[in-house]
Amino acid sequence: MANQNLSLPAILCPPGVADKDKREQCVYVIDEAFDPSVLSDGDGRFVFQNIAAGEYVLLVGNRTTKSTLLTNDFNQPIIWKAEADKVLELGDLVVDLH
C-alpha cells in the first residue's frame, strides 16, 4: 500500500451506547477538511500524529474515487480508540482496494 491516502473519520454515537453496540448504533462521518489524514510512504508505512483522543475508523484510498474502510472478519468497520498521550500500534494491515 505504498503512497496511499489514509484518513481517520470520527465515530459519532448517541449518549450511553455500550462498546458492544457501537457498530450497530453509531455512524462515522467523513469530513475532508478536518479528519486527520496522512500519505503512506513507499513501503506502506504511516504515522498519524497529534490526534485528538476519540474513536475512529481507518479509511484507505482516495475518498472520491477508490477507498475502503478497514473491517473485521464479519465485514464490520474496525473501531480504533485513540487515547491522550498514548501510542496505538496497529501492526501489519492488509487492505484490498477493489
Query: Closest by alpha carbon to 36, among 45, 49, 54?
Result: 49
- Are 8 and 35 spatial neighbours (Cβ–Cβ below 8 Å)? yes
What whole-number distance in Å separates Cα of residue 30 and Cα of residue 16?
23
What pLDDT is recorded for position 42? 92
86 phi/psi in degrees, rounded to 5: -130, 155
What pLDDT is recorded for position 13? 93
Q: Over the chain (98 residues), what is each successive 10-residue block's mean pLDDT?
A: 89 93 90 90 91 92 80 88 89 76
Query: Model-level pTM?
Result: 0.84
What pLDDT is recorded for position 62? 74
What whole-number distance in Å separates Cα of residue 77 and Cα of residue 71?
4
Domain locations along the chain: 5-82
What pLDDT is recorded for position 63? 66
